[in-house]
Structure 1
Amino acid sequence: MISIIRQFHFIVIVFSIISFSNNAYSQKYLGLDIELLELNDSNVTALTPNEIFDDFWIKPNVSVPNLGNSNTWIWARLNLDPVKDAGLHVEIAYSTIDSLQVFMVCDGVTISDQLVGVNNTNNRNRLNIGNYPSFLIPSIDCSNLTCYIRAWSGKQLLLPVRIESSEKILSDGHVRDVLFAIYLGIVISLLLYNLFLFFSVGDKNYLHYVLFIIAIGGTQLVLNGYDRVFHLVSIPWISLRMTHIFGILGGVLTILFSRNFLHLKKNAPFYDKLFGLLYIPYFVATLLLVLGFYNTSYDLINFSALSIIILIPASIKVWRSGDVSAGYFLVGWSVFIIAVVIFALKDFGIIPYNEATIYALPMGSAIELVVLSLALGSRINQLKKDSELAKEKELNTSLLNEKIQREQNVKLEQNVEERTSELTKTNASLSETLENLRSTQEQLIQSEKLASIGQLTAGIAHELNNPINYVSSSAVSLKRDFIDVKEILSLIANLDPKSESLKESIESVKSKLLELDITFTVTEIDELLEGVEDGAQRTAEIVRGLRIFSRMDGNQEIKANINELLSSTLIILRSNLKHVVDVEVDLSENLPDINCQPGKLNQVFMNIITNAAHATTDTDLKRSERSVKVSTRVVTTDNVEVIQVEISDNGVGMSKETQAQIFIPFFTTKEVGKGTGLGLSIVQGILEDHDAKVEISSTMGEGTIFILSFPT
């Protein structure tokens, strides 16, 4: 920090020497020879020299009059020597005057009227020799030659007036251009350097600093008139506000950069909150500027800018907390504040108004930017040191952890061996338990299936008895018919072709055929045989359905057709359902086979169809009005082909609460003794094993729809 303080002392001495010396670039300004018009009601609206009352002229006591920050037009006059000053130029060495009108009056007659400003860019470029407006003194035969100056600005207004030759003005302008080019070079170099560091390091402080550099450099560019020299802005609305805009940007970005660089939220919370409040006046100044209150906005910007003095105690507090980079920050802002003080003192005539004091602010801002760059560099070095210390600490911690880990590994190995032995035993026990659970589940499914068959036994027996009884009765009739046929065949067999009574025998056979009505007998035999065949087929269907339904598939999957499984289930249920409900069947043709466990799917279909039938009996519908519909179809959902089985009924329906619980084991809506509540729970497990999805749509009083979707 001692080196920082020494640098600070050196900078202060340099500033003092430059600011208070009459160097080679000092200028002779004619403020003591100028007369200013005292404003009153009679001359405040004067537009030409002829409208001014001579009784109200006053002389300032400084070489460069400071006319303050007023929204009114200012009048000044300067008496010229028509002979000595002819061919020279009157230069107004102040670049931020928004509107400037100069009249040359000879013996009371206006011989020239020239206007420059933001709304007269073409005329301004023609009148400027350097970056300040200048006006040629005419060579004319005149007794009294007077220069009248009429000026207005939306910010502070000074009148540094001098009379010089065009060569001198150009020479001084070149010096200013060189000095400002050096300043601009420093600004651009620092901007590019810190922008490179931002992309390299990724520290957002560098980005904030780059924006801060742009604001500070832009402010100096505008204050020295180079925005108008380079035609950076051609829109009068913006040009009138350029100084204000960069003043606001400079203040806001100063607050943003300072808060983040000094980590005020952590290191100095009070100052952080204080700087946060300073955004408010800048916001108000922006609003006033947009509305056209230029001078009020300028005053508020300057008032807010005074807050930079708060950076001194804030940076001292952070520096004392151990942050070395805050020391550089303190030096940089101290230099800038000194530059601002020098700049302000020359405006009020306390110190000489010359090129040195004019450039105190750019010089101070350049030094500030350099020192703040050093502060950021110091921050990098500090971060490197902190990183190295952190790595060293991390290495020591890692070595300690490694030692502890080695010691623990021995103990852990022992614990692992003991735990592994316990886990092996536990795993064996769990495997045995899992196998028992699987066996129990299979037994439960089969028990449910057998229980279902048991409930259907009477109906199945009746279904089998009908075709068997028909076959039995048909056999008796066939036996009787065959006796008649055998009798006819016996008569025919006893015919003797050589017998003389052959004709009588044939007539006897014919008579017997008529007596036995053999034509009816043959027809009856055909019908009885067809009935026997139909009864045998129906019996075979029932037996095949029982065989499919009662099979034990285990976990083995085979190819099967959903339509065949539904048909076999409906055959089993036919006798039990025909007195309860009408079953409508619509099975899609050409349904592809799927990998499944047929016996288990039969149980799923039987359970849902039976529940659907029972749901219709709980309504007030007549037997002829109850219905259960079973249909199949192939659909494509999300580019995936699935087989859907839809089972619907017009029963009592289910509430949302019931739908949410129907798959819970032992949940049932039936009366005690009429259901275990395991049916749909088993159904859900079987469907999950088949990767099938179930959708339920039910409305109370209207019925329920089950849609089962099986992947193909």
Structure 2
Amino acid sequence: MHKNTACKTFLISLFLLVLTAGLQAQVIYNGSKGIQTIGNKIDYFVDSTGTQDIQSIQRQRQFLRSAANVPDFGMIKVPVWLKISVYNVSSTQDLMLEFDQSLLQEIQFYYKENGQWKVNQSGELYPFHSRENNYHKFIYSLKINYDSTATYYARIKSTHEMQMPIFLGDRAHMVDSNLTKNIFFGIFFGIILVMFFYNLFVYFSVKDPIYLYYVLYIFIVGVAQATIEGYSFHYLWPDNSFMATRSFFLLTALVNISGVEFTRKFLQTSKFVPRLDKISYALYAVYAIVIALTIRGDLYTSYQILQFFAGIVSLYMLTIAVSIARTGYRPAKFFLIAWMPLILGIIIWILKDYNVFSYNVFTNYSITIGSAMEVILLSFALADRINIFKAEKDRYQEETLRALQENERIIREQNVVLELKVSERTLELSESNQELGRTLEDLKQAQSQLVESEKMASLGQLTAGIAHEINNPINFVTANIKPLKRDVDMMFDAFTFIENISLSEASTEDKQKQIEEYKEELDFDYLIIEINDLLKGIREGASRTAEIVKGLKIFSRLDEDDLKVANINEGLDSTLIIANNLLNNNIKVIREYGDIPHIECYAGKLNQVFLNIISNGAYAVQKQFGDHAGGEIVIKTTNDDEFIYISIKDNGTGMDDKTQKKIFEPFFTTKDVGEGTGLGMSIAYNTVKKHNGNIQLHSAAGEGTEFILQLPVIHKVIAI
């Protein structure tokens, strides 16, 4: 019995071997591999006249056998016919045939039904819904009974390099394979979206135009990659054959234009390499020609130009980056590192088109992978640009602080000299009260002019505090980048592992088990939580920085010399942001703002008044409470028909009657030597008076101080 079985097995194997040898152009599908590449098991015929139909093509004897796993017909303007014969010896009848190419101008798929040839016409010239399956690649359902053979024909035209990966498999494996590809692209597009919105937010925060150029570049890259993969036709213009046939060419040209322009702005090429910078205009002209040819419909010429200049543009950018990096310009080094993955991806993609590299997942997605890495690395390069600006700002602030300290020293010396002169002059004029009165009046005018010229000197004391306030959230952002990169790398490793498992020959249960074990080993759920926390920290740091910058902008109004309608509540808030460092986290600020109207005023000057009063209040509270809690500053705004009222009250040391009488005199201060100039309250008093307003003082030693500012809603003085 065993001999008979062995004999039968031998005869069946011999029969299948002979059958296989006789059917060289036939695909034998047994289901063992799930999905198999059948490019080297099909016949093809180049229809040089473009007149063949299904009836004549069946009689055609000039079909050639494809020798490559991925047939490559190059740039060809005439249709190519494919003949695919499938012999099904698997356990399933539900098979699927996929042409893994999204950029086909036209594909006509012929199949027999009830003895008659039927055709499905689709491609870029037809609406997307004309496809048999709602997918961005071309997939066709095959119903082939067990131990049966079916023959199919496909007539294909393309305006691109016609590489045609063809896969055959059962529905379950085909769906699983395409899901993996969609996940891969989803990761890429997710990276594009994150970088897009992050850099857009940074642009609105810092107003640096380079971020706008980069955001535009990221947007075009994302849409271009979606177009190459067929997603744009699927979701953006499913019924627009004009965009479907031309979007690849238009977007590729725009990607190169925006990339070159971003490079020029980011690397300052006109400054460092002016001769190379001029070449960019020639490249713009080339891509303008491509756009014109594309709109006119000369797509073959457009593709040849794009293919030729892809390498030239990559070499051009590489040359610029290397040339500028040699000068020591740090952003060029980051730029060079960021662009290398994309340049390498473009080179691999071009060499794949010229058959130097074979067609596979890596070579087909080389530009997608390079684009994702480039977008991430360029964001890091822009982040380093912020650090450079910050260092320059710190140096400027240090120089400003030194200048203000020198001004303060000069003021103190002038005070001493002035006091000596006043004493001498007083003695000389003691015999004449009238002359003494004139002299004192002249002295007050001189002091008033000095106050006017030096009234902003005290603001310099807050510069270091502002730098500290901005430095904290920026440090928080930069501190989160390194662990975020580590976690993202772990996510990439996880996706690579899952992709490898999904492409393995193991069963679905084994795949799920291996994936679950890997996720437990990686602590995948915690990794997601940690990434969200890091992103939240970066967002909070950036938001805090934006709040400080906004407050500083409102406080230091550039229009302070013009009479404007302003929101006093908003001015108080911006002043509190500027003075935040003085409050030292121990002083509680209570805001009791009323719904007051906007008033005509010099907003910048009033903000200086608020700052002087709040800083004095903070000083008095700190003197009273030290580092202990309990200190408070209460800010209240109200109004009536003609005036608004601003009350600033603290529970600090307060003032006695003698101090209250001198508080608005120039150069009078209760602070220690070196801690104040004595000009702050004098400036406040003069500013309020020039607004046709009034300032009231209520204070008692040991109980705190309250200043009440009364300002008219409508200013009756045109200028001060």
TM-score by length of 1: 0.50
Structure having the higher Rg: 1
